[in-house]
Amino acid sequence: MSSHDMGSARIALRRLAAEKPELGIDPGPIAPPFLSPGQIASGPELDIWLDRTAMLYGGMDRRSAAAYLLSILVWRLGEILGSLYLSDTRLPRLTDRDLAMVLRIEGAGTGRDIDFRFRFAIPEAGRPRDRAAFIGTLAAIHEPLVAALSDRTGLSRRALWRLVGDGISGGMLAHAKRCGGEERARAEAEAIMASEPLRNRQWRFVEVDVAGEGEWFRLRGGCCRLYRTPGGAYCSTCVVVPAPDRIEWLAAAIRRRRGA
């Protein structure tokens, strides 16, 4: 592989798709039924997505449907974009036209599932670790959906941007846990999250120590509102739960995973 290829977004996406197929990276071209965030925001698809999300969770109000749908989207997309940035891929400042997606919602009861598929058309330009360009990319890609979800549901843009920030910071940490470089990933995420429109004082990274062995997590700054839905529950990193309780929940999860 040439030095040029090592920074290629196309090659990085192909590698990431093989490593984590659950992220939903599709190698195909941007064409219907895949639509850009701007097309989704201005067309009928977004209302369809909201209605289907609300139906999936009976009794979910429209604001909660918007928050939960966006939180699932940015959980996947945040790890994809964060992985590209942290793997030193050459990235120019992207627009929402460089990304397209489709949504699949199906199931009921405990078999409910919301799944996104993504296609990218990233120009082979830019340079690695261009933080200003990356921040611009995050704003450009998410702004159409944030604005449209706010306009159609009344949920504030600030609340929605907090969810985007959770997805990006959590995605960057997830990449580092998989590939190494956690300290750098946390530092980069903290710098990116200090900028608008992602700035949020409630999120943070925290190290959870169990039996003298620490593990880092991201505590949320935004709320997916699932706990407001009949039968819904709190996330282990939920912003409305006091931080000491969240840390204890995470410690308990670590102990279960280790069989302690």
Report residue 248 CA to chain centroid gap.
24
Q: pLDDT digits over 133-173, tens only? A: 999 999 999 999 999 999 999 999 999 999 999 999 999 99
Predicted local confidence at residue 3, as pLDDT: 42
Which pLDDT band holds residue 55 (cuts at 50, 70, 90)?
Answer: confident
Percent of the chain whose pLDDT exceeds 70:
95
Percent of the chain whose pLDDT exceeds 90:
84
As a whole number of angstroms, the distance between CA 122 and CA 94 comes to 7
Region 42-46: mean pLDDT is 96
Residue 1 has pLDDT above 50, yes or no: no
Q: pLDDT digits over 201-216, tens only? A: 999 999 999 999 999 9
Strand partners, 144: none
Cα torsion 152, 154, 158, 161: sign: negative
Strand partners, 100: 119
The residue with tokens 């999300």 is: 53
Asked whether the whole model's pTM tops 0.85, one would answer: yes
Q: pLDDT digits over 88-108, tens only? A: 999 999 999 999 999 988 765
Region 243-247: mean pLDDT is 93
Predicted local confidence at residue 4, as pLDDT: 45
Region 94-123: mean pLDDT is 86
Residue 260 has pLDDT above 70, yes or no: no
As a whole number of angstroms, the distance between CA 235 and CA 25 comes to 25
Predicted local confidence at residue 32, as pLDDT: 95
